Amino acid sequence: MYWLVIHELTHILGFQRELYDFWKRPDGSYLGIYNILHIEPVNGRLVNNIKTPKVVETARVMFNCTTLDSVELENEGTGASTMQHWDRRDAGTEYMTANYVGTPIIS
């Protein structure tokens, strides 16, 4: 059950679409929503991605992929899950997917 608390605290701390505009660079300046969210066509559908230096750096290590340039967000489900969770198809049991099975992984 503590995984759910950690998951919800992560939303409170900023991983929700209403708060992306407040994400900051290491120097304290705001990234701005257009430097965070990117919508790109993939296989005939529009996909929402997060593309910040730290997210990309972490994902490249996690997926062992040096060419990865963004991380896909959930595009399906209710308004409570879209654009504020990692896409489960890619992230699997990472704790910030909309619904995980088994023991979540904190990346």
pTM of the entire structure?
0.83
Q: Give CA–CA dist 81/86, Å, rounded.
A: 9
Q: Are 94 and 104 in contact (CB under 8 A)?
A: yes
Q: How confident is the model at residue 79 (pLDDT cuts 50, 70, 90)?
A: confident
The two three-digit tokens of residue 52, written as one number? 């910040």
Neighbours of 96 (CB within 10 A): 20
Give yes or no for residue 4 having a pLDDT over 90. Answer: no
Mean pLDDT score across all residues of the chain: 88
Average pLDDT for residues 11-36, to the nearest whole number?
92
Reported confidence tier of residue 3, pLDDT bands at 50, 70, 90: confident
Q: What pLDDT digit, counting tens, does each position of 30-74 carry? A: 999 999 999 989 889 889 999 999 999 999 998 999 999 999 999
Distance CA 99, CA 84 (A): 12
